[in-house]
């Protein structure tokens, strides 16, 4: 979510005298509104630029039209039942011209009726002699009658015309009582109109969709023409979808989109929705969003407390799918004044756009969830072709397991094994490519055993050969020896004073061990790591965890020290050591930040340089080709890695399912899923039996 843009007018945001724009209601007030808008116009050019003047007036008109929350869907519905409360809402809802017209009507009708009735009465005009002496004019009976009715109803007294009969006196009393009621009503209506807060809120004509840090975002802009501070704003964005039931019922479903809310709003604010795995829009491509069957419309509702009115102001706006702008984001509205000493808001830039990458169109269109492979790949041929053949281990975002995935369907396969990915990155950074062979790590194909007897990944076969190489170290050594491009990459050595050995930079094993802190002591993998990192089996869990965190920090400090003066371990571009170490560092990040392995603090706080190192690497073509788009530290913990390894941890440490594994999956997915308690208990019992 973008930061709140405030108006800087030489005063603090709490100083009411710093407001730049006043409330504008109708065309009669545009001139004063335009004068006030000069305070936020860029470079003082408003008075010279007719185009900007017309644009600012159009913004004022937009604020006057469709933003009042009390505006009904169908005004004809009032005809079904007209009550005094209907009149009250009409006064508050309409502009000032309607209020003045209604007040005039309330006076004109009774004055006319009582004036006609008074024409038959005997009335005494106290100013008749004066009028005759000064103007040589004697008012007619009709004029005297209307003077009589006007004075009694509007002035609530006789005025200069008095009755001289009982009938006239009775009619005067009735008209004065009616005048009291009309005056009270008009006074109350005017006071209610003054005290009724109606926000000068405008919304952008378009909704932008663009990529920010590798994740798509939906953004629209809201503006406050008064430019004073509104407190405790509530921003709600909904997408309207047409739904159908098995019984044949059709209805429109309103699904809320998550947005962050600021503490205050001044001037303008960009309302942004992150389209991640928890978003209802996640599975929709650009062309899908324009199909009415997927999205009917968007609706945004804005409410905030106005400190001037001491009441809540409301506004709303709706968008059709034709108002979506792909690959655009809003331009900046903050400008320097003519002297360059202070910031001002230029409302003529309210609808300005700048080009921005639309990730879904450019990359995800060729690699989206719907198009991911669901099953293992075909068996490799007997002899490799012109490119190296690489066997990679694949995982899934969801396996359709009721315990760990709830109601999520089975997802497609994506590369997961960090060892195989390090080989893939080596080939790609060297400028070579490979033939990919797919093996689901949770359900390996029968041909996998022919490639590697241990059913491990990676495995590699050189071009035009039939022999498979196993083991990451052996594969890399062979590529350096027999592949000229990889040999060139290997010559890009780490900086002076840096250990070139791969093991010196590996922190993933420490974090993996942290995932096993609460596993039973009988688990062989736990005993292996405890011996590797010097943990005593007699230590309690918290002491083992603290020791492993300390050991992991030693490795992370090496990363921080190495990256202090360079972008990569091998300098300005990745070398062989980077290709081998980065996928394992990304594995450590995913385990730690999801919560499967507890490092004590977020990875970015513990190792900020290593975090930005991974972020730089994830933007390179080699990373996107190996991992696929949408995977990197900016997106968050890698759900493919977390979910695939969760299969292992649920059997190794079944008691941590509710306390560690499920929260880690929710964090990586950025969403919660519905689970069935019975199936959870059955899975937990079966996992315990496996041990």
- Band (pLDDT 50/70/90 cuts) for residue 608 is very high
Instruction: Give me the DSSP letters along 82-113.
Output: --HHHHHHHHHHS-HHHHHHHHHHHHHHHHHH
Alpha-carbon gap, residue 494 to 503, rounded angstroms: 14
The values of phi and psi at residue 394, to 5°, are -110, 150
- Band (pLDDT 50/70/90 cuts) for residue 11 is very low
> Which position has the token pair 């649920």?
650
CATH classification code of 377-690: 1.20.1050.130
Output 491 or 68, whichever has higher pLDDT: 491
The 3 state secondary structure assigned to 319-388 is: EEHHHEEECEEECCCEEECCCCCCEEECHHHCCCEEECCCHHHHCHHHCCHHHCCCCCCCCCCCCCCCCC
Out of 310-319, 337-346, 663-672, pick the least confident. 337-346
Assess whether pLDDT exceeds 70 at residue 397: yes
Structure tokens at 635: 């997106």
Enumerate the domain spans of the chain.
16-28+199-362, 75-195, 377-690
H or E element, residue 217: strand 215-224
Q: Report the topology of domain 16-28+199-362.
A: Immunoglobulin-like (2.60.40)
The 10s digit of each residue's pLDDT in 220-272 is 999 888 778 889 999 999 999 888 777 878 888 899 999 988 888 888 899 99
Assess whether pLDDT exceeds 70 at residue 77: no
Out of 83-87, 180-184, 621-625, pick the least confident. 83-87
In this prediction, residues 547-572 reach a mean pLDDT of 90
Output 8 or 610, whichever has higher pLDDT: 610
pTM: 0.57
- Band (pLDDT 50/70/90 cuts) for residue 50 is low
Predicted local distance difference test score (pLDDT) of residue 127: 81
The 10s digit of each residue's pLDDT in 437-476 is 999 998 999 999 999 989 999 999 999 999 999 999 999 9
CATH architecture, range 75-195: Orthogonal Bundle (1.10)
The mean of the pLDDT values for the chain is 80
Q: With both helix axes pointing from N to C terminus, report the angle between 662-669 and 639-652 in degrees, rounded to the nearest 10.
A: 170
In this prediction, residues 625-637 reach a mean pLDDT of 83
Q: Is the Cβ–Cβ distance between 508 and 587 less than 8 Å?
A: yes
Predicted local distance difference test score (pLDDT) of residue 628: 84
Assess whether pLDDT exceeds 80 at residue 343: no
Predicted local distance difference test score (pLDDT) of residue 53: 57
Alpha-carbon gap, residue 3 to 390, rounded angstroms: 46
Q: Is the Cβ–Cβ distance between 431 and 485 less than 8 Å?
A: yes
Predicted local distance difference test score (pLDDT) of residue 43: 37
Predicted local distance difference test score (pLDDT) of residue 123: 84
Predicted local distance difference test score (pLDDT) of residue 658: 86
Assess whether pLDDT exceeds 50 at residue 76: no
The 10s digit of each residue's pLDDT in 129-149 is 787 778 777 788 888 888 888
The 10s digit of each residue's pLDDT in 145-164 is 888 888 888 888 888 888 88
Q: Is the Cβ–Cβ distance between 99 and 189 less than 8 Å?
A: yes
Alpha-carbon gap, residue 476 to 482, rounded angstroms: 10
Predicted local distance difference test score (pLDDT) of residue 29: 37
Predicted local distance difference test score (pLDDT) of residue 685: 38
Predicted local distance difference test score (pLDDT) of residue 369: 58
- 16-28+199-362 and 75-195 share one CATH topology? no
Count other C-beta atoms under 10 Å from residue 653's C-beta. Answer: 22
Q: Is the Cβ–Cβ distance between 461 and 468 less than 8 Å?
A: yes
Instruction: Give me the DSSP letters along 246-282.
Output: TTS-EEEEEEEEP----SEE-SEEEEEEE-STTSTTT
The 10s digit of each residue's pLDDT in 287-340 is 778 777 788 899 999 999 888 877 788 888 999 888 998 888 898 888 777 776
The 10s digit of each residue's pLDDT in 16-48 is 333 333 333 333 333 344 344 433 443 344 444
In this prediction, residues 358-375 reach a mean pLDDT of 60
- Band (pLDDT 50/70/90 cuts) for residue 8 is very low
Structure tokens at 323: 């108002």
Assess whether pLDDT exceeds 50 at residue 402: yes
Assess whether pLDDT exceeds 70 at residue 634: yes
Query: What beta strand segments (E) does 451-512 contain?
Result: 459-461, 469-470
Hey, what's the torsion of the CAs at 508, 216, 647, 678, to 10 degrees?
Answer: 140
Predicted local distance difference test score (pLDDT) of residue 676: 54
Share of the chain above pLDDT 90, in %: 28
Predicted local distance difference test score (pLDDT) of residue 137: 79
Assess whether pLDDT exceeds 90 at residue 688: no
Predicted local distance difference test score (pLDDT) of residue 21: 32
C-alpha dist (Å) from residue 339 to 6, 42, 43, 49: 19, 11, 8, 19
Output 568 or 228, whichever has higher pLDDT: 568
Alpha-carbon gap, residue 154 to 299, rounded angstroms: 47
The 10s digit of each residue's pLDDT in 500-556 is 887 888 899 999 999 888 888 888 888 888 888 888 888 888 899 999 999 999 999
Predicted local distance difference test score (pLDDT) of residue 271: 93
């Amino acid at each position: 979510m973008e930061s709140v843009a405030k108006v800087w007018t030489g005063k603090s945001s709490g100083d009411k005298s710093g407001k730049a724009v006043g409330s504008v209601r109708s065309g009669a007030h545009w001139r004063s509104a335009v004068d006030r808008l000069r305070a936020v116009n860029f470079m003082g050019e408003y008075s010279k630029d007719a185009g900007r003047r017309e644009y600012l007036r159009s913004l004022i008109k937009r604020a006057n039209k469709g933003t009042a929350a009390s505006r009904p869907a169908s005004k004809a519905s009032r005809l079904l039942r007209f009550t005094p409360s209907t009149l009250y809402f009409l006064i508050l809802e309409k502009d000032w011209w309607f209020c003045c017209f209604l007040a005039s009507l309330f006076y004109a009708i009774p004055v006319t009726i009582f004036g006609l009735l008074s024409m038959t009465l005997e009335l005494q005009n106290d100013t008749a002699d004066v009028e005759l002496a000064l103007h040589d004019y004697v008012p007619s009976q009709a004029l005297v009658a209307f003077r009589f009715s006007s004075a009694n109803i509007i002035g609530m007294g006789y005025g200069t015309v008095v009755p001289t009969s009982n009938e006239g006196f009775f009619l005067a009393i009735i008209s004065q009582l009616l005048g009291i009621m009309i005056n009270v009503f008009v006074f109350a209506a005017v006071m209610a109109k003054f005290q009724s807060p109606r926000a000068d809120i405008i919304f952008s004509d378009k909704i932008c969709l663009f990529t920010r840090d590798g994740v798509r975002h939906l953004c629209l802009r809201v503006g406050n023409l008064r430019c004073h501070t509104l407190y405790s704003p509530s921003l709600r964005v909904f997408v309207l979808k047409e739904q159908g039931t098995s019984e044949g019922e059709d209805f429109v479903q309103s699904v809320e989109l998550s947005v962050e809310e600021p503490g205050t709003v001044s001037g303008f604010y960009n309302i942004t929705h992150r389209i991640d795995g928890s978003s209802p829009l996640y599975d929709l491509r650009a062309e899908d969003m324009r199909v009415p069957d997927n999205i009917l419309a968007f609706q945004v509702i804005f409410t905030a407390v106005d400190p001037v009115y001491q009441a809540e102001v409301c506004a709303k706006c709706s968008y059709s799918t034709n108002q979506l702008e792909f690959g655009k984001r809003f331009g900046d509205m903050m400008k320097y004044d003519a002297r360059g000493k202070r910031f001002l808001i230029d409302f003529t830039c309210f609808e300005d756009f700048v080009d921005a990458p639309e990730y879904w169109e450019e990359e995800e269109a060729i690699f989206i969830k719907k198009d991911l492979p669901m099953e293992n790949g075909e068996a490799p041929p007997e002899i490799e072709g012109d490119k190296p053949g690489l066997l990679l281990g694949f995982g899934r975002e969801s396996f359709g397991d009721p315990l760990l995935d709830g109601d999520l369907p089975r997802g497609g396969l994506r590369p997961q094994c960090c060892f195989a990915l390090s080989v893939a990155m080596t080939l790609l950074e060297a400028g070579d490519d490979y033939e990919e062979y797919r093996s689901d790590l949770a359900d390996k194909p029968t041909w996998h055993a022919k490639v590697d007897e241990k059913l491990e990944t990676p495995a590699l076969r050189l071009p035009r050969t039939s022999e498979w190489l196993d083991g990451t170290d052996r594969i890399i050594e062979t590529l350096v020896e027999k592949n000229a491009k990889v040999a060139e990459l290997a010559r890009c050595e780490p900086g002076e004073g840096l250990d070139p050995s791969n093991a010196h930079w590996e922190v993933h094993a420490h974090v993996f061990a942290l995932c096993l802190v609460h596993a039973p002591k009988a688990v062989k993998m736990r005993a292996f790591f405890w011996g590797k990192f010097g943990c005593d089996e007699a230590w309690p869990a918290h002491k083992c965890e603290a020791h492993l965190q300390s050991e992991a920090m030693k490795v992370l400090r090496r990363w921080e020290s190495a990256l202090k003066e360079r972008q990569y371990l091998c300098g300005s571009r990745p070398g062989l050591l980077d290709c081998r170490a980065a996928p394992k560092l990304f594995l450590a990040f995913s385990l730690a930040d999801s919560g499967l392995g507890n490092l004590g603090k977020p990875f970015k706080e513990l190792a900020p340089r290593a975090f930005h190192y991974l972020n730089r690497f994830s933007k390179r073509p080699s990373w996107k080709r190996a991992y696929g788009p949408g995977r990197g530290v900016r997106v968050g913990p890698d759900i493919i890695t977390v979910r695939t390894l969760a299969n292992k941890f649920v059997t190794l440490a079944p008691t941590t399912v509710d306390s560690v594994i499920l929260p880690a999956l929710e964090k990586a997915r950025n969403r919660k899923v519905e689970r069935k308690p019975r199936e959870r208990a059955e899975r937990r019992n079966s996992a315990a039996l496996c041990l």
